[in-house]
Amino acid sequence: MTKKELYTRVLSYFRELHPEVTTELEFGSVFQLLVAVVLSAQCTDKRVNQVTPELFAHYPDAQAMAEADESEIYEYVKSVSYPNAKARHLVELSRMLVDEYGGEVPNDFDALLRLPGVGRKTANVMQAVAFGQSAMPVDTHVYRVSHRLGLVPSTADTPLKVEKMLVKHIPAEDLARAHHWLLLHGRYVCTSRKPHCDKCELSNICPKKIENSKLQ
C-alpha cells in the first residue's frame, strides 16, 4: 500500500466514523478554551473538566483572572499536573490579554505563542477549535498513532516533524478534524501501553509499528 493509499483509507474510515468531532474539553468561551488547553498539558481532559467549572465560576474571563493572585488560581487547579507553573501562566497570560488585546484571545498564531504557557500545540488547538482554521496540533496521542499506523516515518522523531508530515498529506479541510480523529483513536483504542487491536477497524491495514511489541 502506498503512502497516499494509506492516508486515503485511514481518513475515509475516520470521516465515516466521526463526521463531526471536536475537543472533549468543556468551555464556554474562547478564553475558557485557552485556559482549559493550558491546563490539559500532560494532564487528562477528564481531570481538567473536573476543575474548570469552579474555576470559571469565579474567573470567567481574562479581566477577572488578571486581577487574581497565583495562589488563588492554584487552589482551583492544584489537582492537575504542574499546578504552580500553570497557575502562574494563567494569571500572566490573562494580564497580557487585558493589557495588549483588550481581554480577547488573538487568532494570530505568533501572537498566541507570545502568551505565557502557550506552546505550538496549544496555539494550534486554539486555531483549529476556536477559530476554525486548518491546523494540526500534535499531542502524545497524535504522535503515537501517526507512527503506529505508518502515517509518518520513524525519522519524524519530534512533534514538529510529525505535524509537518501530517499537514503535507492531509487535505486542509480535514486537518482540524484529523487531529481529533487521531487523538480519540489514541485515547480509546490505540492506547499507549496496551492497544486494543482486536477492537480496531484499521487493524487489517495497520503495520503495527509498536516499539518493543510482539505486534511488530
Write the DSSP assignment of 176-194 as a string of letters.
HHHHHHHHHHHHHTS-SSS
For residues 167 and 176, the answer to whether their CB atoms sit within 8 Å is no
- Rounded to two decimals, the pTM is 0.89
Catalytic residue among 69, 121, 209, 214: 121
Nearest 5°: the CA angle 90, 92, 97 is 90
Q: How many residues make up the chain in this entry?
A: 216
Q: Is 174 a catalytic residue?
A: no
- Cα dihedral 204, 210, 213, 216, rounded to 10, equals 50
The DSSP 8-state label assigned to residue 93 in this structure reads H
| pLDDT values of the chain reduced to their tens digit, one per residue, 216 residues | 899 999 999 999 999 999 999 999 999 999 999 999 999 999 999 999 999 999 999 999 999 999 999 999 999 999 999 999 999 999 999 999 999 999 999 999 999 999 999 999 999 999 999 999 999 999 999 999 999 999 999 999 999 999 999 999 999 999 999 999 999 999 999 999 889 999 999 999 998 776 644 443
Q: Which domains does the chain have, with CATH numbers?
A: 3-20+136-199 (1.10.1670.10), 30-130 (1.10.340.30)
Euclidean distance between CA atoms 201 and 22, whole angstroms: 21
Which of 162, 203, 168 minimizes the C-alpha distance to 183? 162
Whether the Cβ atoms of residue 153 and residue 122 lie closer than 8 Å to each other: no
61 is catalytic: no
Point out the catalytic residue in the list 139, 194, 198, 214. 139
